[in-house]
Structure formats: C-alpha cells, structure tokens
Structure 1
Amino acid sequence: MTQPQEVIKYCPKCGSGDFIYDGSKSFKCQTCQFHFFINSACAVAALIVNDNGELLLTRRACEPNIGMLDLPGGFVDPMERAEQSTIREIKEELNLEITEMQFIASYPNEYVFSGYTVFTIDLAFLCKVKNFDNMHAQDDISGFEFIKPDDIDFNDVSSSSIKNIINAYKKLI
C-alpha cells in the first residue's frame, strides 16, 4: 500500500476528504477543484570507470534497499540542471570532482520512501573524474567498490532502473 491512490486521502490545498483519484495519474478535489498530478521526480546516476575498466558502485546507507549496490547519484533539486545535480551528488557522496560527462540513457523507476511510491525518471551519465585520491563514502552511502561490469551480481543491485542503466552501459563497451 504505497501507491499514491492508496496513501493520499485529503486535498493538500483545502484538506477536504473529497479528493478523487482519476485512475491514471491525477487527483481532483471536488470541494476546491485543486487538480494534483502524479509526475515523475528526476534523479541522476553516474557511471564512473577506473583505469582497469571497473565500474564504481556504492552501497546504500539508508532505505530503500539499505546495503544494496547502487550507482552514485540522487535526486535533482528544484530548478537544478541534471548535469549540475550529478556534479553535486558525486561530490557529496564520494568527494570526487567530475571533469567530463556524457548522457547515456534514462529509465523509469519506483522509489518507495516513507511508505509512499515516488515515481522517478533516472538519468544516467558516463562521467570522468579528476582522480580517486580523496574518495571516501559520505552522505547516504556506506561504502563503495569497483566491479567489472560482467561480474556485477544483479541480485545485489538496488533497483530495476539501475540494472537497466548498467546493462545500457555494457552494450556501449
């Protein structure tokens, strides 16, 4: 019971309980006529490869999917460009400085947080970094590891979108 129609019961504008789900992607308040759409939130993921051709993967430090493998990245802040968000997130999580980036692919995902499904569109960027000298886990990751793309255990990867992004990268190389 994490889908928006199962969680949202009252109009966020007037508080009325007469907030009707249309069955696809929006709610409409029968009292104040407020129309609320369920849209995808934007998130970014960085594909960073070392000189040995190994992909940098992180371990999630918090729910959802605590302890599982993930790509470094996170949510795009309001009014922030996806590229700027990628630079910010990689600095926050790993203390790395991105020097180049190239868009690779995007995939939809369902991110369940606090008992609520947030639909996301995850944008993947292939990134080069200045160096790995001062890299350390911080923010919402507990650790990191470099793994050859063909050796990644997809049962240990946190979400379908990250699996899809890694597979898209594997087709490129």
Structure 2
Amino acid sequence: MEHPLHLFYYCPKCGKNTFEEINEKAKQCTHCGFVYYFNPSAAVACFIRNRYDELLLVRRAKEPAKGTLDLPGGFVDRFETAEEAVYREVKEETGLVVTSCRYLFSIPNIYPYAGFEVHTVDLFFECLVTDFTSAIPADDAAEIVVTPFDRLSSTEFGLDSIRQGVSKYLVLP
C-alpha cells in the first residue's frame, strides 16, 4: 500500500523538496524539521426519513460512482460541527430543511478524488424532514429517489462506505 502522502514532495512549511516518510502516517522535512501527520477528514452521510417511513436518496451527479444511489452528505467544513454539516449538505443537495438529526455510527473510508485518496471518517446520521414534496436535486445530486424503508437495499449504492452504512442501518434496533 502506498503512503497516504505519496503525492506530496515539498514541505508545506519551507517549500523544500525534502519531505520524507517517517512512518505509515507522517512525513517530515529533513531541512526544517516540520512533521505532517496524515489524519482522516470528516464527512457526513444522511438517512433522511419522513413520517411515512420513506427514505430520500440521491443519484450521484459526479464521479466517483456517478449515476449510482447515494445518501445526501459530504465533507465537514472548517469550523463546522458534524451536525451543522448535516443541515447544510441536505439543504445544498435536496433543498430540504432538516427538522432533527441524530448520530448513528461511523465508518472509515477512502474517497477517490482527482487521483488522490482522501481518507475519511464517514459519520452517519438519521435526519427527519416534514415531507419530500419540495425536494429538488442540486449540487452533487442528479436525481431525487424516494424509497420505502423496507425496500432499501445496500447493493444499489455505488460507494463502498455507503453500502456498508446502509447494511448497518438496516439492522439497527
């Protein structure tokens, strides 16, 4: 397995081409001594439910896994809580306003982006909305898909961590 920082050659502090691996998760500059520890980024994935026990899903508009089912969500921004990211991402991708959300579980993930593997910790939430009538696909979503909870299947999702999350969600007490 390649080092997670294998594409980074230059020290982000001094700019010298002396950035070398020191262990499986860090690189150090042999010129200025700066050490960078590679840690995962936080991302949210949202199971959006209405009062009819239906789930709102989206079809991915972009790679990776373009055209497959997904849960609305995305990266947590700087200075943002995971819950704030839930409300923002759901609004950006569906136009819906979340009335409440609760944290469920997390799954480590590797998200391919522009030839780079972004290591993430995907935080799964269950969100409630009043109804889905005003939902519109936007941002990373190409289509809104509504499905009854009892017809949810992990095999229809294109991203591995989302498939794992759906499987885990289906057996929650």
Question: What TM-score, normalized to structure 1?
Answer: 0.90
The equivalent residue for 2:160 is: 160
The equivalent residue for 2:42 is: 42
68-77 vs 153-162, which moves further: 153-162
Cα distance in structure 1, aligned partners of 2:64 and 2:127:
25
SS in 2 for 1:59: strand
Give the 3 Å change call, closer, same or farther, for CA 72–3 of structure 1 in structure 2.
farther
Question: What TM-score, normalized to structure 2?
Answer: 0.90
Cα distance in structure 2, aligned partners of 1:46 and 1:94:
11
The equivalent residue for 1:112 is: 112
2:154–2:166 Cα contact (<8 Å) kept:
no
Letter in 2 for 1:160: D
2:3–2:24 Cα contact (<8 Å) kept:
no
- The offset of 1:2, in angstroms, is 7.8
1:2–1:112 Cα contact (<8 Å) kept:
no
Equivalences, count: 173
Give the 3 Å change call, closer, same or farther, for CA 162–14 of structure 1 in structure 2.
same
Cα distance in structure 1, aligned partners of 2:71 and 2:3:
25
- The offset of 1:170, in angstroms, is 0.6
Return 5+ residue gaps in structure 1 as ranges: none
Cα distance in structure 2, aligned partners of 1:158 and 1:13:
38
- The offset of 1:141, in angstroms, is 0.9
Percent identity of the aligned residues? 39
Output aligned runs, 1:73-88, within 5 Å. 73-88=73-88
Output aligned runs, 1:1-173, within 5 Å. 4-149=4-149, 151-172=151-172
Cα distance in structure 1, aligned partners of 2:67 and 2:99:
28
Give the 3 Å change call, closer, same or farther, for CA 152–3 of structure 1 in structure 2.
farther
Letter in 2 for 1:122: D
